[in-house]
Amino acid sequence: MDWLTDNKIPVGKWAETFVDFLIDNFAWFFDLISDVLGFLLEGLTDMMLWLPPLVLIAIFAAVAWALHRSWGLVISVVVCLLFVVNQGYWEETVQSIALVVFATVVCMASGVPVGIAAAHRPWLYQAIRPVLDLMQTIPTFVYLIPAIIFFGIGVVPGLIATVIFVVAAPVRLTHLGISSVPKPLIEAGQAFGATKRQLLWKVELPHAMPTIMAGLTQCIMLSLSMVVIAALVGADGLGKPVVRALNTVNIGKGVEAGLAIVILAILLDRVCKRPAPAEKGQS
């Protein structure tokens, strides 16, 4: 088999040449993206850190109440976040929340329209499906390397890597929700003279909303799972103390930071989960 290994296809060389071409010709573009994303993300983080912890906790509790009208959830949010403050990880928690929120907004804003377009055009979904599979299965560290080359060390490459890893979830679930709309429901809308836009906004999206909201929670959970990996390239947040604990074999710090990540994941999942529809009372 020496003849096979001696005639190696230079895939790595091709990739390196392509990356060098992008850096030589589009470095200004990557610098612009890095500056804009860094400014927005750091601005969101600074704005939340500017508020006293108790005020921000009260805001989170108010959002939980507005979405779910559940005192149990409100109390859980307050108690859990006060515990994070008690453990000394408030700043890191806010930084992680900013990263998760920003990545989720970017993924939903780009993934939902692509999922809708793919549901209406089967050929498009067949074309992007291998790309989605690649984005979800390729090891994260592989695309961290070009992210660092293009955007440098810091929070931006961590954000880019998070978006690449996460965006496939809302695309797939939006496609599933829109594709699952019953044909009779669409035919009924068409019979009443609904346009394609009206069918989308008044028939397809309302029916697919539970699946799309599942995509939202998937975005949040997957983004939070990238916190530690993002810390390896300089992103702030709860991943940094975990990495430091790993490097120093500090069990106590690792447990504290890991518990803060678990608490944040549970709270975000409960708060962002779609409320169950209220049952109608019998007359």
Confidence (pLDDT) at 174: 92
d(CA 200, CA 16): 43
d(CA 191, CA 201): 16
Q: What dihedral do alpha carbons 82, 39, 19, 134 form, nearest 10°? A: 40
Residue-wise pLDDT for 227-277, tens only, equals: 778 887 777 888 888 888 888 878 888 888 888 888 888 888 888 776 655
d(CA 97, CA 268): 9
CA distances, 176 to each of 27, 171, 198, 208 (Å):
38, 9, 20, 8
Residue-wise pLDDT for 21-60, tens only, equals: 888 888 888 888 888 888 888 888 888 889 898 999 999 8
d(CA 38, CA 253): 28
What pTM was computed for the model? Answer: 0.83
**Tokens representing residue 236 in the block:** 């702030």
**Range with the largest mean pLDDT of 40-44, 150-154, 170-174:** 170-174
| Exposure string for 22-53, b = 16+ CB within 10 A, e = fewer | eeeeeeeebeeebeebbeebbebbeebeeeeb
Residue type, 198: Q
Confidence (pLDDT) at 280: 45
Per-position DSSP letters for 211-225, written without gaps between them: HHHHHHHHHHHHHHH
